[in-house]
Amino acid sequence: MVDTATSASFSVGLTTTDLQRIIAAIDLGTNSLHMVIVRIEPTLPAFSIIAREKETVRLGDRDLETGNLKPEVMKRAIAALRRFQDVAKTFNAETQIAVATSAVREAPNGRDFLHQIETELALEVDLISGTEEARRIYLGVLSGMEFNNQPHMIIDIGGGSTEIILGDSHEERVLTSTKIGAVRLTTELITTDPISTAEFDYLQAYSRGMLERSVEEVRADLRLGEYPRLVGTAGTIETLAAIHAREHLGFIPSTLNGYQFPLRDLRELVARLQTMSNVERATVPGMPEKRSEVILAGAVILQEAMTLLGCEAITVCERSLREGVIVDWMLTHGLIEDRLRYQGSVRQRSVLKTAKKYHVNLSHSDRVANFATSIFDQTSCILHNWDNETRQLLWSAAILHNCGHYVSHSAHHKHSYYLVRNSELLGYSETEIEIIANIARYHRKSPPKKKHENYRILVNKEHRLMVDQLSAILRLATALDRRQIGAVARVHCDYNQQEKLFKLRIHPSNPSDDCALELWSLDYSKEVFEQEFNLKVSPILEPTVVKVS
């Protein structure tokens, strides 16, 4: 189905070569697979949605015993993705960006499924955390709704999780994700049709209990005199809005963007849905096909969230995760130049916030990061062919490589892996966080080995190679600041390909410093680098030329 074009409300900076850039974003949700195709238009300047696709696949319908994604469901999903790709090609989309959320995130075979997609369709799907999902939902809503510098609360009820967000025109303030969704609660809590009183009461109580922590986080961040409006996104809320519009207006508007309905009407609708069978709910005017099975659980989640938040009304925004994926892509590619510019630095800000949380010596980590990226840059297209996004992963790992000291000095590299892996770094996919954690893990001691579970998790050979090579670079970088006093000012790389000799020319900060400990540390650490790149490393202390006036 093709949707009418709608423009984003933020500017983009483009050149004439960017004309007619078309991007497709795919969201592998728990209930449905969605795709949005946009055209970046420099004349507005904005992006416009030129097509939408949806297919209800029910990835959340997992094996009850193992929690695995079912083979038949994965097959349907791959077929849907193949169709999405065909549609994207008809619109000449230059890039297809795909993300997967809670159903794939929680399934034991989720990563294998994503690897299968990459193998069969050549489509790389980013697995994102609940918090990162919330951030991109915020970006999507911000792109389609004017906040007027006022705080807004956003709720997105998906099939497997519910995100509640507090943000304003400048930044997200609170990002939460709770493991309750329309499909999940229907599958786990509802066995009767119509639902029994006992099951309904438990559904309400369970939803309320699960949402309390997220609501408390949001309310705790509200400042005196702030009364943010509540914005709702995604299928459940759009369906409830469509039903409400049909009943109160007599028709469903061509767009539900900006449509409002009150909590009192939602409560009345929930009471009616409670008494209906699934077949009866399917006949409700405005109810989309297949939504009737899960609408009651979704409506209860919204009812309890609005009650806890103290919101008497909700405003619909038709932009959400998929549009947020587009905005995030534009940010990372330098295409946004106005009020969302601040969001472009989200990765760096998130890494530095995590470093401070674990009391990392930022002066030392910053020097290590500078050495690591300097070696990376000097050896680009000579020893490796990694891109700038990979360089950013190396920088993040270098900043966080010592965070494991927060737990214990002993085996701190292993603690660093655990802390990074569980920090939910914003702006990064789960795979990217896994890579960063592994690079940090191997900055010392044993090199990467397949017997290590953390390394074995990386099923993609390219990702393993990335960890192998970048962690080898990080080892040299940490050696260059062995005393953590900034003894080395800079390093110059000189590679003789015929002799396979890699000279590290060390320039000391102090002319009288022989940097003996740094040179010793390089000799101790260089073996992994030598084996990885098949060369010989020769550290050389360059004499400092003292100018005489």
Which residue has tokens 């369906």?
Answer: 239
DSSP per-residue letters across 448-483? P-TTSHHHHT---HHHHHHHHHHHHHHHHHHHTTTT
**DSSP-derived 3-state class of residue 371:** helix
Output the six-digit token pair for 337.
């130049």
Output the six-digit token pair for 121.
């369709």
Which residue has tokens 């038949």?
Answer: 72
Nearest to 28 by CA among 88, 92, 77: 77
The arrangement of strands across the sheet holding 229-233 comes to 172-178, 162-167, 152-157, 229-233, 313-316, 260-262
Tell me, what amino acid is at 245? A
Cβ atoms of 277 and 215 within 8 Å: the answer is: no
- CA angle at residue 391 from 388 to 397, to 5 degrees? 150
Which residue has tokens 């409670």?
Answer: 274
Nearest to 502 by CA among 541, 529, 469: 529
Output the six-digit token pair for 262.
């009150």
Contact partners, residue 544, CB within 8 Å, separation at least 6:
507, 508, 511
Q: What are phi and psi of 460, to 5 degrees?
A: -80, 125
Between β-strands 536-541 and 501-508, what pairing exists: parallel, antiparallel or unpaired?
parallel
- Please give the DSSP secondary-structure letter assigned to residue 333: T
Identify the H or E element spanning 110. Answer: helix 110-121
Contact partners, residue 136, CB within 8 Å, separation at least 6:
99, 128, 321, 324, 325, 327, 328
CB atoms within 10 A of CB 146: 10
Tell me, what amino acid is at 40? I
pLDDT of the residue at 424: 74
- Cα–Cα dist 84/33, whole Å: 9
- Cα–Cα dist 139/137, whole Å: 5
Which residue has tokens 């995604």?
Answer: 234
Cα torsion angle, 426, 430, 431, 435, sign: positive
pLDDT of the residue at 546: 55
**DSSP-derived 3-state class of residue 408:** coil
- Cα–Cα dist 368/387, whole Å: 20
The arrangement of strands across the sheet holding 125-127 comes to 46-56, 32-41, 21-28, 95-100, 125-127
Output the six-digit token pair for 165.
């967000």
Cα torsion angle, 401, 137, 292, 274, sign: positive
Cβ atoms of 522 and 477 within 8 Å: the answer is: no
pLDDT of the residue at 20: 65
Per-residue pLDDT of the chain (549 residues), as tens digits, is 334 344 444 444 444 344 568 999 999 988 889 999 988 765 444 678 889 998 988 888 888 889 899 999 999 999 999 999 999 999 999 999 999 988 898 899 998 999 999 999 999 999 988 899 999 999 888 877 778 778 899 999 998 899 999 988 778 899 999 999 998 999 899 999 999 999 999 999 999 999 999 999 999 998 888 889 899 998 899 999 999 999 988 888 888 888 899 999 999 999 999 999 999 999 998 888 788 899 999 999 999 999 999 999 999 998 889 888 888 888 777 776 555 555 557 788 888 888 988 999 999 999 999 999 999 999 999 999 999 889 999 999 999 999 998 888 888 888 889 899 888 787 788 888 899 999 999 998 888 888 888 888 887 889 999 999 999 999 999 999 999 899 899 999 999 989 999 999 999 989 888 989 989 999 999 999 999 999 999 999 987 655 555
Between β-strands 229-233 and 313-316, what pairing exists: parallel, antiparallel or unpaired?
parallel
Which residue has tokens 């405003």?
Answer: 315
CB atoms within 10 A of CB 395: 22
- Please give the DSSP secondary-structure letter assigned to residue 206: H
- Cα–Cα dist 45/42, whole Å: 4
Cβ atoms of 317 and 308 within 8 Å: the answer is: no
Cα 308 to chain centroid distance, Å, stands at 27
Q: What is the 3-state secondary structure (H, E, C) of 25-62?
A: EEEECCCEEEEEEEEEECCCCEEEEEEEEEEECCCCCC
Contact partners, residue 128, CB within 8 Å, separation at least 6:
99, 100, 101, 105, 136, 429, 430
